[in-house]
Amino acid sequence: MELRAEAIILSIRAHGEHGAIVRAMTEAHGLQAGYVRGGRSRGLRPVLQPANMVLGQWRARTQEQLASLTVELVHSRAPLFTEPLPAAALSWVTGLTSAALPEGQPYPRLHAALDGVLGAIEAAPAARGWGTALVRYELLLLAELGFGLDFEQCAVTGARDDLAFVSPKSGRGVSRGGAVGYEARLLPLPDFVLGGGGAEWEDILAGLQLTGHFLERDVLPGRIGEMLAGRARLIARIKRAVA
């Protein structure tokens, strides 16, 4: 197996005394893992950072073998890790993608959306500039993995408009009329999820609450402690930024 492609670095794990196992997302070949010799060296540490774009070359004798990987830096987002809020956002979205996706299966829409979220964080480090993009990315990831939410019509009345809530059990939208008396049991559905455009802080946080519920239940059930701690740090930093 030999593959040469640009890729977004998702995660890096130390392996042995000096090496690292890197998981990165390509557009046409999906998530690819590889062993980088000397990956923990002073020269490669700035390159092997989550969210960086690299040109990778994977080589392996068989499909089952962990490939050896060499990388060239194409674009660095490492400076953003000096800022707490962008660092938390980059760590969460790349870590989520690494944990959720199977290896070797292409997700071109997710690749494009991930690159868009990372670019938005880079262009406007304040969460107001990328919060809605993060929510939409998480909704897309749920859909691509077969856990998409259904906003076609109200689960109670069948109405196709005025959807304002989501059932935490079925993932289906619920209209204001259909939710009467049950609002406290439902998840808010922010307007920007259906209508696009920007959003206020309250709506961004509601969107993250919505996607977080289904990510925890359907995508990360075995890794809640490990993964959702990073998400909790991100949301706490957003709330501090809002205050």
Q: Please give the pLDDT value at position 159.
A: 92
Q: Please give the pLDDT value at position 224.
A: 63
Do 37 and 61 reside in the same domain of the chain?
yes
Q: Residue-wise pLDDT tens for the chain (243 aa)? A: 899 999 999 999 999 888 999 999 999 999 999 999 999 888 899 999 999 999 999 999 887 789 999 999 999 999 999 999 999 999 999 999 999 999 999 999 999 999 999 999 999 877 888 999 999 999 999 999 999 999 999 999 999 999 999 999 999 999 999 999 999 999 999 999 998 888 888 999 999 999 999 999 999 877 666 778 889 899 998 988 887
**Does residue 163 sit within a domain?**
no
Taking 3-state DSSP, the helix, strand and coil percentages for the chain, each rounded to the nearest 5, stand at 40, 25, 35
Do 26 and 93 reside in the same domain of the chain?
no
Which range of residues forms the domain containing residue 141?
78-151+189-243
**Does residue 43 sit within a domain?**
yes
Do 120 and 145 reside in the same domain of the chain?
yes
Confirm if 170 and 154 have CB atoms less than 8 A apart.
Answer: no
**Does residue 60 sit within a domain?**
yes
**Does residue 171 sit within a domain?**
no
Domain boundary among 14, 43, 76: 76
Give me the count of residues in the chain: 243
CA 153 to chain centre: 27
Do 10 and 65 reside in the same domain of the chain?
yes
**Does residue 24 sit within a domain?**
yes
Identify the CATH number of the domain in which residue 31 sits: 2.40.50.140
Do 93 and 65 reside in the same domain of the chain?
no
Do 85 and 68 reside in the same domain of the chain?
no
Domain boundary among 56, 76, 96: 76
CA 114 to chain centre: 7
Do 142 and 215 reside in the same domain of the chain?
yes
Tally of domains in the chain:
2
Residue closest to 24 by CA, chosen among 11, 5, 40: 11
Do 133 and 84 reside in the same domain of the chain?
yes
Domain boundary among 32, 51, 76: 76
Do 127 and 215 reside in the same domain of the chain?
yes
Do 32 and 121 reside in the same domain of the chain?
no
**Does residue 168 sit within a domain?**
no
**Does residue 8 sit within a domain?**
yes
Do 50 and 137 reside in the same domain of the chain?
no
**Does residue 47 sit within a domain?**
yes
Residue closest to 55 by CA, chosen among 115, 3, 7: 7
